[in-house]
Structure 1
Amino acid sequence: MENKAHALAAGLFLLLLGIALAASVFWFQGDRTARVHYTVVARSGVPGLNLKAPVKLRGVEVGWVDSIGFDPEDARQILVGITVDATSPVSTTTHAQLGLQGVTGLSFVSLEEADGKAALTRAAPGSRIALRPTLLDRLAESGPLLLAGFAETAERLNKLLSDDNRQQLGRTLVRLDQTAADTSRLMAALQPSARQLPGLLKDADTTAQRASNALREIETLAADSRALAQDLKARIAVLDRIDGAAVQLQTTSRNLELSLVGDTPQRTRPLVADLSAASRSVERAANDLGDQPQSLLFGRGPRPPGPGESGFDERLKAATK
């Protein structure tokens, strides 16, 4: 009886010890973190995504995938249920993308913020988060268009690089080579002229300076000519007055001579003769000045040749023309 009692006590002890160990393990391994459930809505496929796949927020693991299935209301959508830490900053602008776990081909859900600078407004539990396609997804969708574009480009390149076009390109390159050689020869021929160009420019500058000086001298001469013309006009007016005075004096002397003829005393006749001679001299001087007014400035010129003198025939011919 005593042996059975000891065995029963030992069995109860072991049973209680096992229950205590199981409770301790459950206590230390139990997850008491508060979790929040969200639903990721995918319009495209979710390749490589499995249950218990990790969920990361900006690279930090915050939960896992707990369900994957089609939307009963819209079969074109896939609903992915995720469970994340309640303290995770999931906002109303958060969107999801699929990421690859190394080279295994398995995917995980990556949560990203659309606008990192916007004020954080936490999303309500159970909210739906849109799944955006990745770069590889967009490339896969646009792959046929890219291939069609590459094919069209290759076809155009084939047409561009046809035999005729290649021959034309070769001839063009040959002409370009010849043009470059001709340009080199022309530059070599122009180098001496280019070296002489500074001297020519200097001579042109000197010539322009001389021309400017000549123009200034011409302007000065023109001003002097205008002044000389005005002086000549004034002198001609004086000569006109002298001529008028001479004519008046001659008329007066003639009248005086006529009035005194016959009854003039013998002693007054020389006076009258002198007056007549003086009037004739004044008349001749006025006539000479009228014929050659420049004699006042430059002196009297030589008298014209008379009959029988040298140069008379040329003067007569010039007068008859």
Structure 2
Amino acid sequence: MENKAHALAAGLFLLLLGLALAASVAWFQGDTTERVHYTVVSRSGVPGLNLKAPVKLRGVEVGWVDSIGFDPEDPRQILVGITVDAAAPVSASTHAQLGLQGVTGLSFVSLEETDAKAPLQRAAPGARLALKPTLLDRLADSGPLLLARFTETADRLNALLSDDNRAQLGRSLVQLEQAASDTSRLMAALQPGARELPVFLKDADATARRATAALGEIEALAADSRALAQELKTRVAVLDRLDGAAAQLQTTTRNLEVALVGDTPPRSRPLLGDIAAASRSVERAATDLGDQPQSLLFGRGARAPGPGETGFAERLKDGK
């Protein structure tokens, strides 16, 4: 009986000790943090997401997933209930994405800010957060289109690399090689000319300078010609006045001769003849100067041969 009493006492002691330890652990593990509930709305799947999956805000764990189910009002939507620390800065513009936990294939909910620089406006408790597709989701959605385009590109590449095109490409490469060889030979042929080019340019420069000097001389000659022409005009005007004066003198002399021939004594008649001859000489000189004004500067030209003179027959042939 005494041994049974000691065993019963020891068993009760161990039981009370275990209960005390359990109560202590429960006390120290008690969670007194204030939590807020939000709902993540997904119109696509949530692969790899389980209950109690972590919820992270910009990489910091702030809660967990407490429910996953279809929306009773719209079965095409999936509602994911999350519990988040009330101190976490969840704003009205926060959206959710699914992230992968290493290589396990399990997912977690990642909360991201749409505009991290905007003023913080906290989301109301129970607010709905949109679940946006990740890069892998977008790639998976566009996979068929990418595959179709890849197939189309492969078909075009096969058409481009057909036997005929490859043969044409080979011929083009041969022609390109020939063109490169011809270009090399042409460059080799042009090298002597290129070496002579500086000398040619130097001669061209000297020629240009000489041409400039010649143009200057031509301009000077043109200026002299204009001055000479102006002087000729002046002298022609003088000759015109001289011609007019000679004509007037001749008229006056004839009138005088007519007037005095009847009343002039015989001794004065030779004097009047001399005056008339002088006036005719002046008239001829004025006429010659009027026909050839250049004779005043360069002398009188050779007179055309008359009848019976040497060169008159050639003159008739030429029609001069």
Looking at structure 2, the residues matched to 46 and 291 of structure 1 have their Cα atoms a distance apart, in angstroms, of 121
Amino acid at match of 1:138: R
Give the CA deviation at 1:159: 0.6
Q: Which amino acid aligns with 2:27?
A: W
Secondary structure at the residue paired with 2:38? strand
2:247 equivalent to 1:209: no
Supply the distance in 1 between the matched residues of 2:69 and 2:251 (Cα, whole angstroms): 145
Deviation (angstroms), 1:7: 9.6
Q: Structure 2 vs 1, CA of residues 24 and 238 (structure 1 numbering), >3 Å: closer, same or farther?
A: same
What secondary structure, in the 3-state scheme, does the structure 1 residue paired with 2:72 have?
coil
Secondary structure at the aligned position of 1:260 is classed as coil
- Alignment of 1:219 onto 2:219: no
258 and 132 in structure 1: CA distance in 2 versus 1, 3 angstrom threshold: same
- Find the counterpart in structure 2 of residue 161 from structure 1: 161
In structure 2, distance between residues paired with 1:4 and 1:306: 188
Determine helix, strand or coil for the equivalent of 2:90: coil
Written as runs of structure 1 = structure 2, the 5 A alignment for 1:61-210 is 61-194=61-194, 195-196=196-197, 197-199=200-202, 201-203=204-206, 205-206=208-209, 208-210=211-213
Counterpart among 244, 247, 252 of residue 250 in structure 2: 247
Relative to structure 1, the CA distance from residue 308 to residue 86 in structure 2 (aligned partners, 3 Å threshold; closer, same or farther) is same
| Corresponding residue SS for 1:132 | coil
1:251 is displaced (CA, Å) by 0.5
CA distance in structure 2 between the partners assigned to 1:272 and 1:63 by the alignment? 153
**2:246 pairs with 1:237:** no
Q: CA 1:315–1:57 in structure 2 vs 1: closer, same or farther (change >3 Å)? A: same
Structure 1 residue 62: Cα displacement: 0.8
**Residues 112-159 of structure 1: per-residue CA shift (max 9 Å, x gap):** 111111111111111211111111111111111111111111111001
Distance 1:98 1:288 in 2: 122
Q: Aligned letter for 2:296?
A: L
**What is the CA–CA distance in structure 2 between the aligned matches of 1:294 and 1:173, rounded to whole Å?**
79
Distance 2:143 2:291 in 1: 113
Deviation of 1:65 after TM superposition, in Å, equals: 1.2
Q: 2:239 & 2:213 partners in 1: Cα distance?
A: 38
Q: Distance in 1 between matches of 2:127 and 2:97?
A: 16
AA matched with 1:252: N
User: Deviations for 1:148-179, whole angstroms, at most 9, x for unmatched residues?
Assistant: 11111111100110000111111111222222
Residue 308 of structure 1, CA deviation:
5.4
Once the two structures are overlaid, the 10-residue window that deviates more, 188-197 or 23-32, is: 188-197
The residue identity in structure 1 corresponding to 2:50 is: N
Number of equivalences: 317
Query: Which structure 1 segments of 5+ residues have no match?
Result: none
The share of aligned pairs that are identical, in percent, is 67
Corresponding letter in the other structure for 1:259? G
Render the CA deviation track for 1:37-75: whole Å, top value 9, x for unaligned.
111122112111111111111100111111222222222
Taking the aligned partners of 2:113 and 2:6, their CA distance within structure 1 comes to: 67
CA–CA separation in structure 1 for the residues paired with 2:164 and 2:5: 112
Report the RMSD for the aligned CA atoms in angstroms. Answer: 3.2
Residue range with higher mean Cα deviation, 234-243 or 115-124: 234-243
**Shift of the alpha carbon at 1:193?**
3.6
- Greater alpha carbon shift after TM alignment, 85-94 vs 42-51: 42-51
